Structure 1
Amino acid sequence: MKFSSKDPPVVVAEPPGTSSRIADVDALRAVALLLILLVNIAFFASGYPFHLVPDPAHDSWGDQAALWSVELLFAMKAYLLFAFLFGYSFTLQLDSAARRGVDIVPRFRRRLVGLFVLGVLHAVLLFQGDILTTYALLGLVLLAMRRVAVGTALRAAVLLTAGIGFVLALAAVGGTELVTDPAAALAAGQRSTEALQGGLGSVIAEHVRQLPAMVGTLLVQGPLALSAFLFGYAAGRRRLLTDVAGNRQLLRRVQRVGYPIGLAGAVVFASGGGTGNLTGVTVGVLTAPLLAAAYAATLLEFFATDRGRRVVTVLAPAGRMSLSNYLGQSVLCVLVFTGVGLGLAGAVAPPVVLLVAVAIYGVQVAASAAWLTRFRYGPMEWLLRAWTEQQWPRLRAADPA
């Protein structure tokens, strides 16, 4: 594998009046979309995961291997990578606003309001595990910290991760159980699966019933997402993703530390029962950021190769339309697994569920490339931009400036 320090990241021209995009960042975001789908699709395919117990109908060694692999490689890592990119992209928006001489505060606040509304609709109509509402709320904290130094952001990120890990460790030592009554959890999982097999009203009612439980999950995910925001903010201020060659030693150190520690923690997390075991969750909280960082470092180095640049060209359009694709994943999963569509909830084995995820992602990659040959933005990106800018931006790529 050869790297050339003379090759900068690919830059894609944006519509006139907007900032250029870094294709490597879009490709990295596209990979994060796949990882998120591989984790989230289990919650569409069965009602049991939301109750932190496995579906008893799928207990073969192949089923267990598929579930274990997802817990090992992607769970608690996928959304951190996505959150890191949210923080990084925030610095690009800051730079763009500074170049144009506009105040980012009201614009970014409107953007966050738009994300929050989309997140609420997403949680109620499509997927109660929505992350957009969390990003919208935490984005206010990120906005308030827009002038902090890189060192301050890094220290705050580390303290957030260590703090939530310490609290969880105390709870684990104190004997706290996430699943206090396995029999009741299994019964609840069956009821949830049956609800998902129903029509639109049944699906929405199930989502609403699960929303209070999601608040507890966000008490852990929220601080970790904010920590990832701040790591992304620090990386953006250091131009880490725009100067891979100049930061190669740092990226290599991230991999040397992140893989052994992150994978060791992931083994403990996955083998201990994943999100259903508090000790495993504690270890995951402390080590998942390192593994997610190692993934990002490896991908950035790969993108700098000749083969990697070809991959970037294929994946970048999906990353440019990340909001549309994130919501689109939920739409397609609802159509496949709930009674709104094929009604396959509870009937598809985990290995096949993962194949469905890969197929959905493949469709999205192809559709994103085709869409962006005709349009400047993804449909949801265009809608959010219209709300943020308080005017209708031109959508068609052929429109004059």
Structure 2
Amino acid sequence: MHTKRVRFIDALRGLSLLGILLANLLIFHYGIWGKDEISYYSLSNTDIGLYSFLKIVVEGSFMPIFTFLFGYSLVKLAESIKNKNGKVKRHLWRRFLLLFTLGLLHSTYLWEGDILAFYGMMGIFLLIFLNRKKKTLIIWGVVLFILTGAAGYGVVEQSIEEEKRMSDYIEKTYDIYKSGSYEEIKNHRNNESPLFTDDDLETAFLILFMLLFAPLLTSPMFLFGMAAAKGGLFQHMEQEEKWYKLSMALLPIGLLLKSVAILGDESNWTGIFQHLGAQFLSIAYIGTFAFLFIKFSASKVFLGLESAGKLSLTNYISQSVVCTFVFYGYGLGQFGTLGMLNSLFLVLILFVFQCISSYFYLKRFKRGPLEMIIRMGTNLSWRGNLKAKKQKIKVEKVLE
């Protein structure tokens, strides 16, 4: 049962990696701000349809799956370290600091849509909940989920000055990303923003406030993942099949809520509908995938996803390398012009290649290069292994 659970987690991680790549395609193609201001670009009817499809079906609904898996794996990793008599929090601190550092390097020198630094920060925050009971984790998760949803109520209107600033930024981003050099793109990514100018202290403080409270607002799925691990979810998948089927009922509800939020007129409820729809879809995707895994786990599709999931960190960074080369000026310069249909073909071919190459790579090596680096730093071992420490047993002599 343990082997099947691990295989499922790796395969689900592979699926979420595909979803994240599809969602990130919008950032690679149009920029982290331009993807939500798509009217600045001339899209064909086909591209508009595919853009809407990704916004409804993909964006915001696969990241929570990865978040859930992060919380789940955190508990399982802590259990593994504890079983080998290691210092759990000491090892996890090192792991998350390394992840945070890798994320900073990724966002600074390669691509603006990094998630690794955030996950490193969240990992450190989640250590507070590591020894909490399953029930406590669920209660905290539900409370924070409600607060997160409530935070989406209302409409934030841009001033004329803010609209002009955004328009200028998107136009400049298009010119620089499409034809600029590596240094020009890096400088624009790291030093320019449409949110505020150098003398806009009010917005700067608002962003700082949001960063400080980001862990609380984004933690529900992390906590649900931790609770699932403590409750032994996916240990006996055949016996849990009815729950997977039940979660699949959230699929049409999630699609409806996101469709209303994205295709309908903006209202005070738009943010809440989008938040609920994204989370419902995430749960439905996990349940649907689990149900299919029970039936077809030996298929080549699941084996490919499993292989990609085992090398998720290496594959994630590789996706940034390939896609920035395709879209940015120091590569093929297709930023904003390749089109959604061609871009979808590109990323799907890339992911299939990653699944196949990961499968054959794992035939020879146990871990990916970046996974190995993180493991070496976490365990302070050149081989990356955590050596089991012998427990000190006190022997009491009983005098007869």
Match of 2:309 in 1: 319
* Alpha-carbon distance in structure 1 between the residues aligned to 2:267 and 2:316: 28
Question: Is residue 119 of structure 2 the alignment partner of residue 135 of structure 1?
Answer: yes
- The question of whether the paired residues in 1 share the 8 Å contact of 2:27 and 2:35 is answered with no
Correspondence for 1:5: none
Percent sequence identity is: 27
Deviation at 1:308, TM superposition (A): 5.6
Does residue 341 of structure 1 match 2:341? no
How many angstroms apart in 2 are the aligned matches of 1:33 and 1:58?
A: 29
Question: CA, structure 1 residues 228+264, in 2 after alignment: closer, same or farther (shift >3 Å)?
Answer: same
In 2, Cα distance between equivalents of 1:277 and 1:127: 33
Please name the residue that 2:355 is paired with: 365
Whole-Å separation in 1 of the counterparts to 2:131 and 2:194: 35
| Closer, same or farther: CA 48–328 of 1 in aligned 2, 3 Å | closer
Report matched runs for 1:76-225 at 5 Å.
76-169=60-153, 172=154, 175-177=155-157, 181-197=162-178, 198-209=180-191, 222-223=215-216, 225=218
Q: Separation in 1 of the partners of 2:222 and 2:281?
A: 16
Query: Cα–Cα, structure 1 residues 177 and 295, in superposed 2: closer, same or farther, change >3 Å?
Result: same
The answer (yes or no) to whether the contact 1:45–1:345 under 8 Å persists in 2 is yes
The answer to which of 209-218 and 225-234 deviates more is: 209-218
Structure 2: which 5+ runs fail to align? Answer: 196-206, 386-400
Q: Is the 8 A contact 2:81 2:87 kept in 1?
A: yes
Amino acid at match of 1:342: L
* Number of residue pairs matched by the alignment: 372
- 1:266 match: 258
**Matches of 2:285 and 2:7, distance apart in 1:** 17
Q: Cα deviations across residues 158-202 of structure 1 (Å, max 9, x unaligned)? A: 211211221221xx1xx4226865454233212112121211111
In structure 2, do the counterparts of structure 1 residues 222 and 265 end up closer, same or farther at CA, with 3 Å as the change threshold? farther
Q: Which residue of 1 aligns with 2:247?
A: 254
Q: Which residue is 1:399 aligned to? A: none
Distance in 1, Cα, partners of 2:356 & 2:214? 31
SS in 2 for 1:246: helix
1:222-301 aligned within 5 A:
222-223=215-216, 225-256=218-249, 258-272=250-264, 279-301=269-291
Separation in 2, partners of 1:195, 1:262? 37
Q: Do the aligned partners of 2:165 and 2:194 also contact (CA within 8 Å) in 1? A: no
What is residue 392 of structure 2 aligned with on the other side?
none
Offset from partner CA, 1:234-293 (integer Å, 9 cap, x none): 11112212221122222222222x2232122111232148xx987433322123111101
Q: Is the contact between residue 49 and residue 189 of structure 1 (CA under 8 Å) also seen in structure 2?
A: yes
Tell me which structure has the larger Cα radius of gyration: 2
Do the aligned residues in 1 keep the contact of 2:26 with 2:35 (CA within 8 Å)?
A: no
Kept in 2, the 8 Å contact 1:122–1:130? The answer is yes
Mapped contact 2:147–2:217 kept (Cα < 8 A): no
- 1:332 matched residue in structure 2: 322
- Partner Cα separation in structure 2 for residue 232 and residue 44 of structure 1: 29
Q: Which moved more, 1:360-369 or 1:102-111?
A: 360-369
Residues 51 and 188, structure 1, Cα contact 8 Å, conserved in 2: no
Q: CA RMSD in A?
A: 2.6
TM-score (norm 2): 0.86
Relative to the length of structure 1, the TM-score reads 0.85
Cα pair distance change 1:94/1:201, threshold 3 Å: same
Deviates most, 342-351 or 28-37: 342-351
